[in-house]
Structure 1
């Protein structure tokens, strides 16, 4: 599990790479990842939103869009993958 400095590095890197990027499509492979709404509803709600700012609470990463704030944890692997297309999950570590 990544420690706080590594989490901050991931956050800073993501902020540099995807700040202002518009979400065209989202896919959640594990239903339990969206705690406050159905996974399908969350994916539809994120469409068209742009990631405006980033924050960290301990080891959790936070992302702000126009309408939503969402928080995630890096889990054991500690990675984010930036992809041009949504793949079918071949890797057990790809959750959304």
Structure 2
């Protein structure tokens, strides 16, 4: 469930979905809620079995909502290459260029 916090933060900061697949999230988000419901409805189910899944589904719903909002409300007159360039520039400005750093020092 905690895996969504950095992605939500990055998407909010960039105001762009980046390389996230909205189509995948449109399928996966309802699936998270259905899975949580199926765990909740199991006989003898305890909160510890379904709460992490429902929490993750809500976080994914937040991420999906942000991606849809930014996709619909962002100026799309520029090309995809310009959008990628903007994302790379934002990453460099914040020092989040971890892809180019060696794993072992």
**TM-score, normalization: structure 2?**
0.25
Q: Considering only CA atoms, is the larger Rg found in Structure 1 or Structure 2?
A: 2
More helix by share: 2
More strand by share: 1
**TM-score, normalization: structure 1?**
0.27
